[in-house]
Structure 1
Amino acid sequence: MSEPVLSLKGITKAYNTGRPNEVTVLRGVGLDLAPGEVVALVAPSGAGKSTLLHIAGLLDTPDAGTVHIGGEDMTGRSDGRRTAVRRSDVGFIYQFHHLLPEFTALENIVLPQLVNGTGRRAAEERAMELLTSVGVAPRAGHRPAALSGGEQQRVAFCRAMANAPALLLADEPTGNLDPQTSDQVFDTLMDLVRQTGLCALIATHNPGLATRMDRRIFLDGGQMVSNLS
C-alpha cells in the first residue's frame, strides 16, 4: 500500500485559548488521503471545515496532533520549510477565486510558477496547457473582471494546479456559483484531478457533489463522526 499523501493524526484546535469564551473547533481529528483519492469533507458552516483545511495545508498549526505531507512530519518545521512544502506540494482553491485583478488569466497561472523557480517560457506553456484543459484558453489574455464566474473559477483551478502539487485542498469551490454553473465547474475540477492523479480534499455542504467523490468524511462537534465509502 502506498504512503498517504496527507496524514493527520490527533488534530486539535481551539480559539481564545484560556479565556471564558474559548471555542474548540477540532477534537482529535485523524485522516489519511491516498494518492489519486478524492475525498469530500462534509459539515455545516462553522463546524471546522476551513480550519481543518488550513491546518492540512500548513496555513495554520494545530494545538495538538501532527500533519504529514508526502511522509514528512511538518510538526515544528521552520516557516521557510513549511512555505516551501506549501508552495510545491499543495494547491488551494477557495469559494471565491481570489485572482489578481491587474493580471490576465494566463499571468495569474504563470506567477506562482515563477515564484517557485520555473522559467517564464515553461511557465507560460504550462499555463496554456492548463487553460486548454479546462476550456478557457481563448480567454487567456483577459483579466478576471472580463471573465464569467465559471471562467474565473476555472482559472483559479488552473492556478492551484500550476506547480503540479500532490495535494489539492478546496473549500466550497463551487459555493459562489449558480447550480447549473456549479455542476459544470465541478465536472471540470474532477476531470482535472483525475487527469493529474493527485489527491484532493474538498469541503462542501452539497450532498450531491459529495456523493460524486470517492469517499465522504463528516465533522460534527469538532470530531470525525463517520467515514463512508
Structure 2
Amino acid sequence: MNDTPQDPVLRLTGIEKVYNAGTPGEIRVLRGCDLEVARGEVVALVAPSGAGKSTLLHIAGLLDTADSGRVEIAGEAMQGKSDRRRTLVRRAEVGFVYQFHHLLPEFTALENIVLPQLANGVARQAAEDRARGLLDSVGVGERAGHRPAAMSGGEQQRVAFCRAMANAPKLLLADEPTGNLDPQTSDRVFAALMDLVRETGLCALIATHNLELAARMDRRVRMEDGHLRAVD
C-alpha cells in the first residue's frame, strides 16, 4: 500500500447502511457519511447511543460492509475485495479498542499482545520484545506476567491499547475506550492512549460520549441523523 503523508489513512465516502431494508421496520443508520483522517491525526466521533457510531467504526475497520459508498485504507479501496484481502488489511493496518477490554483471560498481559503478532507471522522473540516495549510505554510494564483478573480496569484497558497496537497498524479505531472507567482512571488511561498514538504517528478515530476528552483531540465530528458534521 503506497500512502504518502499527504494522503488520508482513512477515507470514507458516501457511506450508507440500512437495516431491515424494504420492511416496515427499516432503519437508515448511515445516510452518506464522508470523513478523512490523516496520518498523525486524532479525531473524536461524538454521538449519542444508537446514532450509528459503532456501525461506522465497524465499516471503517472492515468488520462490516456498507450498503453503498467507498472505504479506503492507506490508499486502497476495499469495495469488492475478497474476504481474505479484507482480513489481511484489517489484521495489518487496523487496530481496535472497545469499551470493554476483551482480553483473553487465560493469558498474561504479555501473551495477549504477543498472540496477534504471532498470527501475523512475527517471530516470538521479536513479538515479546515489542509487547514489553508497548507495556512499558503505557506504564504497565510490571504487569506483563499478570492475567487480566489480577489487574485493575485501567490496567486492563491499557493492555488492550497495546494489543491494538501490536501489529503496528496505520489506523486505530476506538469505541468508547474509557466508557467503563471512573473519571480519574479514564483520564489517566486516555492520556496513555494519546501518548501512544502521538509516539507512533498513526491516525485514530475515537468514539466517545465524553465531551471533555473529545476536546483534547485534534478535531471533532458529530453524527446527526446519519450524517457526519464538523464540530467547531
- State TM-score, norm by structure 1: 0.98
Q: Deviations over 1:114-136 (max 9, x none)?
A: 00010000000000000010111
CA distance, structure 1, for counterparts of residue 69 and residue 34 of structure 2: 9
Aligned to 1:56: 60
Secondary structure at 2:89's aligned position in 1? helix
CA distance in 2, matches of 1:167, 1:16: 30
- CA offset digits 1:34-68 (Å, max 9, x no partner): 11000000000000000000000000000000000
SS at match of 1:5: strand
Alignment correspondent of 1:30: 34
> Which of the residues 158, 170, 184 maps onto 1:154?
158
1:190 Cα deviation (Å)?
Answer: 0.3
Q: CA deviation at 1:19?
A: 1.2
1:13 aligns with 2:20: no
**1:137 CA drift (Å):** 0.9
Question: Which residue of 116, 119, 123 corresponds with 1:115?
Answer: 119
1:62-211 matches, within 5 Å, as 62-211=66-215
* Aligned-partner Cα distance in 1 for 2:55–2:113: 26
Asked whether 1:215 is paired with 2:215, we answer no
**CA RMSD of the aligned region, Å?**
0.8
Residue 228 of structure 1 is matched in structure 2 by 231
Letter in 1 for 2:231: L
The answer for unaligned runs of 5 or more in structure 1 is none
Three-state SS of the structure 2 residue aligned to 1:203 is strand
Letter in 1 for 2:186: S
Q: Which runs of 5+ in 2 are unaligned?
A: none
**C-alpha distance in structure 2 between counterparts of 1:37 and 1:57, whole Å:** 17
Instruction: Tell me the secondary structure at the aligned position of residue 35 of structure 2.
Output: strand
Determine helix, strand or coil for the equivalent of 2:8: coil
Sequence identity percentage = 74
C-alpha distance in structure 2 between counterparts of 1:111 and 1:125, whole Å: 13
SS at match of 1:168: strand
Measured in 2, the distance between the counterparts of 1:143 and 1:108 equals: 9
Runs (4+) off by over 2 Å: none
For 2:27, the aligned partner's letter is V
Counterpart residue type for residue 42 of structure 1: V
Q: Distance in 1 between matches of 2:149 and 2:72?
A: 38
